Amino acid sequence: MNIAKMMQAASAAQKKIAKIQEELAQRKIESTSGGGRVTVTITGTGEILSLKIAPEVVSADDVEMLEDLILSAVRQAMADAKKLSESEMGKITAGLGMPGLPF
C-alpha cells in the first residue's frame, strides 16, 4: 500500500472513529445488582447518567452492603461500556492493524 492510500485510510478511519464515539456517547447501558435493588445507567463512553436505589436497601445498620451493591452495579456497567466500545472500535481498527481504543 502506498503512502497516499495509507493516509486516505487513516483519514477515513478517524472519521469513522469520531462517528462511533458520538454514537457511544448517546447509547445507554443499564446494570443492576442486588436483584435489581441498585440500578446504574451510563453512556457507552462511561459517563454515569443515573443511580437508582430501592428504598428497602437503605439502612443505617448496613451501609456497607449498600456500598457493595453500588460498586457492583457501577463496575458491571463500566465493564459493559468498555466491551461495547472495544467492539465498536474494533470494527474500524481491525482493518488497520490497530488495537481497539478504549474510552
User: Which helix (H) or strand (E) covers residue 32, if one does?
Assistant: strand 28-33
C-alpha to C-alpha distance for 27 and 13, rounded to whole angstroms: 21
**pLDDT computed for residue 17 by the predictor:** 86
Confidence of residue 55 (pLDDT cuts 50, 70, 90): very high
pLDDT tens digits for 13-26? 888 888 988 999 99
Superfamily of domain 26-89: Nucleoid-associated protein YbaB-like domain (3.30.1310.10)
| Tens digit of each residue's pLDDT (9 = 90 or more) over 1-13 | 588 888 888 888 8
Mean pLDDT over 59-66 rounds to 91
d(CA 85, CA 91) in angstroms, rounded, equals: 10
